[in-house]
Amino acid sequence: MRKHLLIIILFLAAVAGPDLLFSQEEIAKSDIIEHLDGKDYYIHTVEQGQTLYSISKVYDIAVDELLFENPDARQGLNIGQQLRIPLVSREKLITDDLRKGEFRYIFHIVRKGQTLYGISRIYDVSVDDLKAANPEWAKGLDPGQYLKIPMKDPVVNDRSMVVKPDAESRKMHTVTGGETLYSISRKYRVGLPELKAVNPGLTSNLSPGQEIVIPEYQEEYIQQEEEKAFYEHIVKEKETLYGIAKKYRISIDSLTAFNPGLSKNIFPGEVIRIPQRVNPDSYITHRVNEKTKLKKIASKYTISVTAIKDANPDFRSRVNPGDMLMIPVGPPPLVSPDDVHVVITPPDDIPPKVMDSDSISCYDKMYRYKKDFNVALMIPLYAEEAREISLKARSGALDPRKHKSFNFIQFYEGFLMAVDELEKQGLNVKLYVYDVDEKVSKTIQVLQQPELADMDLIIGPFFSRNFTLVSNFAEMFDIKIVNPLTRRTEVLSNPNVFKIKPSRDAQAALLIKFVKIYQPKANIILVRNNKFQYEDEVLEIRNLLDKVVPYGVKVPNASIYDLIVEYSKADTNLAPGVLINSLMVEDRMVRTAELESSPADSTFFPNGIAEVIYATDSVYGVIKNASVVRNNLVIVLTNNEIFAPEILTRLNDLKDTFDITVVGMPEWDLLDNLETDYLLDLKVYYFTDAYYDYDDPDVKSFIMDFRERYKTHPDDYAFEGYDLGTFFLGALMRFGTDCEKCLPYYRQKVLSTTIKFSPAYPAGYENLYWNLCRYRNYRIEKVPIQ
């Protein structure tokens, strides 16, 4: 292990270079600004001891951009040399574009001698698309230039379709919180250009409540097409587009041509038009869209690699974009497939995404994958701090907590432990580690590495703006990619994305399960700080609770009578033995005489779900809606470090009057300033994505092994790195690169949580599992609800 880590550290030091290792000069930013070639530049004069790296730090610009703007600096700096430094760096321009959303590009750094045509072949895009995305191409390509590589639209529609401008029949979509143009286009299976064409002025900056016109299409030459006869094939579970192409002896390209908008991610119930024609040949054609292996294509058509090689003797193990392959399909069938004329309309909300595999087939092929998997780990290691860390380590003054280079190092160490364990079980993996932090320029540099296109799995990056860039790259080259940290659903725009952190949206359904199991008769009160926060969440919770909370509850008269006796004893104005005449319970006056006349009976109380806006109602809103005869489930929605302790303090003051149980949402495990006694007295429950059972033998073993290897205690990142490596590398080892089909049946135990992936909207997969925990006897316990 020490050897692996040493290699990484030496590599980082080498990347940092001599500029980093020997420059300590104080540098003043130039006040000379000139407008050159349409851009504003600082004019910096090099002085004694200054280096490219030290200058780049002062101007907050990447070294590669400095070199691009000043090619002569590649030979070294000279005293008195003048450098052009852009006022607005590429880093800032790209970051601003990424923040706007709908960023459907990756970047290529131009190398000496490259042409637009050559670059278009690398990424399987047309030269015209490259020119449209890069207007500056007319000036020529320069080494070091950033070239935008456009992604294909999420749904590619036939451009012969024209928009119908009929205002009366047009469909409207009202934007809700969190939606993007891309997600709306996926929902309605419409291309982004078509959306913008019928919504003049439409931008990526959408607002909740905004109305968008959804275009309808009229295909040209409908009459000609209607003269052709088609089968309507209804997709069944476990079917793939490749299998359908093979069955009907038709190429993928032809299927796409006859079914505008058809993608490879088909789902059960989808209708695909098949032209009624018989292919007399024993082959269909397959056009290669990306650099890949014959083995991967063979697996899609469920034929052997040998069969493909026999049919295509000019090709070896790998093929490139644009190559045409002959796929053997056997002799033509004697009987045509049944002509089924059934049209199924997908639901208006989210098309169902049912996995096309079952547990039997998944476990039948388990452990048959003996290939070497290529895995990239993109983790923030901050190589630029290498010299400072080295100097302080020598002097004995190193405090790892003060250096970003150590922020995620335990994630890496935990991940390596998972790799070592799985290699003992038969995993063959080549692990590539890249230093990718929040700098987009560094990420773009990493994406130029030629081996990345051959990855089977990418883990990271950890920062959202860089994840967008790498996710686009992964989508273009059909690589699985894992987002390890974010809860943002915006990352789910790529069918190959796996989001490990559950989003808060998944909590509501789990809360309802908790209520059904543990609090079916509770009086429920929803509390939030003000009317502007968590409005949508409260509305969803209320709607779900309305479906499971009973219309009312019956409380035994004996229990209410005992309460009247208790209140009467506490009333000093009453003579001993005298009872109060009545008691107000949940807006209903209950009379003592009625209880005495039917002690074995019960009193019915209608159920309601109350809502308290604390900023206006204060704690009296809770008192007004609380019940004295049954448990009060107070669901508090806040992550505010001021409001959460405040409401807990006020609720704790009421605990002697009311029976109160609190559920803190969405993430009270992140709040450090909550009084422990209040958490215990109010029986507080909370959701967390990570729970560590220190009595679990596996957890104990991991901690012991980690301490032995790294001479320190594992933090949360160590557990997360180990869990993520165990789960995903284990899935690769068992099921291969198409492991997503088998994840519903994959029950790999991890240390900090349970991982349950579900197809997400609009694309990709999301872990929906939250742990529900409670404070009890000065311990944190996990509550089983799933």
Residue 411: exposure state from Cβ atoms within 10 A (0-12, 13-18, ≥19) = buried
Domain membership flag for residue 74: yes
Domain membership flag for residue 126: yes
Distance CA 308, CA 317 (A): 10
**For residue 691, what are its two tokens?**
């729970």
Residue 408 near residue 462 (C-beta atoms within 8 A): yes
The CA-based angle 535-539-542, given to 5 degrees, is 140
Domain membership flag for residue 759: yes
Residue 381 near residue 11 (C-beta atoms within 8 A): no
Domain membership flag for residue 366: no
Question: With the C-alpha atoms ordered 394, 400, 402, 405, is the resulting torsion angle positive or negative?
Answer: positive
DSSP E strand stretches across 572-630: 582-585, 588-591, 602-606, 609-613
Q: What is the pLDDT of residue 260?
A: 59
Shared domain check, 574 and 667:
yes
Last-in-domain residue among 654, 688, 722? 688
Shared domain check, 122 and 195:
no
Last-in-domain residue among 88, 115, 134? 88
Distance CA 468, CA 472 (A): 6
Domain membership flag for residue 264: yes
Shared domain check, 123 and 9:
no
Q: Give the predicted TM-score (pTM) of the model.
A: 0.64
Shared domain check, 234 and 182:
no
Give me the residues paired with residue 637 across strands: 528, 665
Domain membership flag for residue 365: no
Q: What is the pLDDT of residue 106?
A: 85
Question: With the C-alpha atoms ordered 326, 329, 335, 336, is the resulting torsion angle positive or negative?
Answer: negative
Distance CA 661, CA 664 (A): 10
Shared domain check, 511 and 439:
no
Name the residue among 780, 783, 718, 153 with its Cα closest to residue 411. 718
Last-in-domain residue among 661, 688, 715? 688
From residue 390, give the alpha-carbon distance in Å to each of 51, 394, 564, 711: 19, 6, 74, 19
Shared domain check, 512 and 496:
no
Element (H, E) at 33: strand 33-36
Distance CA 24, CA 125 (A): 45
Distance CA 157, CA 476 (A): 18
Q: What is the pLDDT of residue 339?
A: 36
Shared domain check, 314 and 277:
yes
Q: Count of alpha carbons within 13 Å of 483, Cβ hemisphere only?
A: 34
The domain that contains 422 carries what CATH number? Answer: 3.40.50.2300
Shared domain check, 122 and 197:
no
Using the CB atoms, write b or e for 99-119: b if 16+ within 10 Å. eebbbbbbbbbbeeebebeeb
Span between the terminal Cα atoms of the chain, in Å: 38
Domain membership flag for residue 785: no
Residue 493 near residue 183 (C-beta atoms within 8 A): yes
The domain that contains 191 carries what CATH number? Answer: 3.10.350.10
Distance CA 487, CA 597 (A): 57
Residue 406 near residue 393 (C-beta atoms within 8 A): no
Shared domain check, 729 and 651:
no
Domain membership flag for residue 250: yes
Give the three-class secondary structure for 181: helix
Q: What is the DSSP string of 397-410?
A: ---GGG-GGGTSHH
Provide the residue range defining the domain that includes 266: 228-346
Shared domain check, 674 and 702:
no
* Residues lower than pLDDT 50 in the chain: 1-23, 155-169, 217-228, 278-280, 332-358
The domain that contains 551 carries what CATH number? Answer: 3.40.50
For β-strands 552-556 and 33-36, DSSP reports them as: unpaired
Shared domain check, 126 and 193:
no
Amino acid at 487: R
**For residue 697, what are its two tokens?**
């033998």
Q: What is the pLDDT of residue 112?
A: 81
Non-local CB neighbours of 662 within 8 Å, separated by 6+ positions? 634, 635, 636, 648, 651, 682, 683, 684, 685
The one-character DSSP state at 30 is: P
Distance CA 249, CA 255 (A): 10
Residue 734 near residue 366 (C-beta atoms within 8 A): yes
Shared domain check, 182 and 38:
no
Residue with tokens 């150590």: 406
Give the three-class secondary structure for 781: strand
Residue with tokens 């290897």: 709
Distance CA 68, CA 72 (A): 9
Domains in the chain: how many in total? 6
Element (H, E) at 555: strand 552-556
